[in-house]
Amino acid sequence: MNKTFYKPNIIISKCLNFDNCRFNGDMINDNFLKKLWDFVNYIPVCPEVAIWLGTPRMPLRLVNVDNETRLLQPSSKSDLTDEMDYFSETFLKTQKEIDWFIMKNRSPSCGIKDVKVYDKVDSYSINNKYSSWIFGNKLYEMFPNIPTEDEWRLKNFRLREEFLSKIFCLAEFREINKTKKISDLSDFQAKNKYLFMFYSPSIQVLLWQIVASYNKENSNEIYNYYFKELIKLFNTKTNIWKMVNTLTHIFWYFKDTCSIEEKQFFLETIGVYREWRIPTSSVMSILKTWALRDKKEYILIQTILNPFPKDLVELIDSWRILEL
Ligand code: SF4
């Protein structure tokens, strides 16, 4: 069954594969983000170049000045806070239909968290404060419901896998959000049932209730409410047990059609999976094969079995093996 994947729109720090715009004239080569080029719409931005600092340039840092965090350039003692603030607001105001932000880890301008704040412009002592600032803060302020990620966290294969599932799901939601139809929303909810269960069974149920309360007069309100809860769901922490629970729920669809040996094989595979010795897709393949054999349409449409384009599945799995 061929599935259409909508391209997620992602704002990304420009120094991640796009331009040699780091303060020292470097660019960061990130293979994973590069592989996504054909599958997403990237919108690269370098806030420091955008405020005319040029490349190469002397580095910037966040400094505590009279209990206020400011963006300073130690070499010139310039305070660039207002310029960065103005740029961030102006740039972000022009952005529409964004699904995700990927920002450079720990950058004083792009960082979304864990950015060091120094005590003084010319000292190395840290103000015991880690923060996001200016551009990062503006993202949170102007796009409170749009998820953010830094490239460093995406080096973890599990986070990468979840990230991919989420961005393609959100891109599809953005499309159906344009129609505001109940049929689109209920189809979306139905096919994401097990993906949502993996994140949070309780929010998954709440999403069904939101769909059930739809009527033509409240379609805008319902879509907005649904989206907020969807983001809340995707922000829920996951673990291997949650995935095992979800896979086991799907497994029960085949309790009457599988032989004792097949059931035994599945349970053994789940045991190996629990120890992270095989990827999630190996377990999914078994369930998918049974769903095809038994013509279980409701299972075949589930996004959890096919959450992102196949070419990325290979990439994820091969990296996973390398990391084990
Ligand atoms: S981290 Fe942000 S400001 Fe710094 S070089 Fe990269 S894109 Fe530019």
What's the pLDDT tens digit per position in 98-131? 999 999 988 999 988 888 888 888 877 776 666 6
Confidence of residue 42 (pLDDT cuts 50, 70, 90): very high
pLDDT at 77 over 90: no
Confidence of residue 12 (pLDDT cuts 50, 70, 90): very high
Q: Is 200 in the pocket of ligand 1 (CB under 6 A)?
A: no
Q: What is the pLDDT of residue 132?
A: 63
As given in the structure block, the two tokens for residue 153 are 């966290």
Q: Is 57 in the pocket of ligand 1 (CB under 6 A)?
A: no
Q: Is 13 in the pocket of ligand 1 (CB under 6 A)?
A: yes
Parallel, antiparallel or unpaired: strands 41-45 and 61-65 = unpaired
How far apart are the CA of 39 and the centre of ligand 1, in A?
23
The DSSP 8-state label assigned to residue 67 in this structure reads: T
What average pLDDT does the structure give for the chain? 91
**22 Cα nearest atom in ligand 1:** 5
User: pLDDT (tens digit, 9 = 90+) per residue, 16-33?
Assistant: 999 999 999 999 999 999
Q: Is 150 in the pocket of ligand 1 (CB under 6 A)?
A: no
Percent helix, strand, coil in the chain (nearest 5)? Answer: 55, 15, 35
Cis check for the bond before 144: say yes or no (omega within 30 of 0): no
**110 Cα nearest atom in ligand 1:** 2
What SS3 state is found at 203? helix
Q: What is the pLDDT of residue 1?
A: 60
Sign for the pseudo-dihedral over CA of 286, 288, 293, 297: positive
What ranges do the domains of the chain cover?
9-154, 156-324
How far apart are the CA of 67 and the centre of ligand 1, in A?
25
User: pLDDT (tens digit, 9 = 90+) per residue, 144-195?
Assistant: 889 999 898 888 877 888 999 999 999 999 999 999 999 999 999 999 999 9
Q: What is the pLDDT of residue 133?
A: 67
Counting other chains too, the contacts that 216-223 makes at CB distance below 8 Å and 24 or more residues apart are 219/180, 219/181, 219/182, 220/180, 222/185, 223/177, 223/180, 223/185
Query: pTM of the prediction?
Result: 0.91
Q: Between these two residues, 150 and 257, which has the higher pLDDT value?
A: 257
**45 Cα nearest atom in ligand 1:** 7
Q: What is the pLDDT of residue 318?
A: 42
**23 Cα nearest atom in ligand 1:** 5
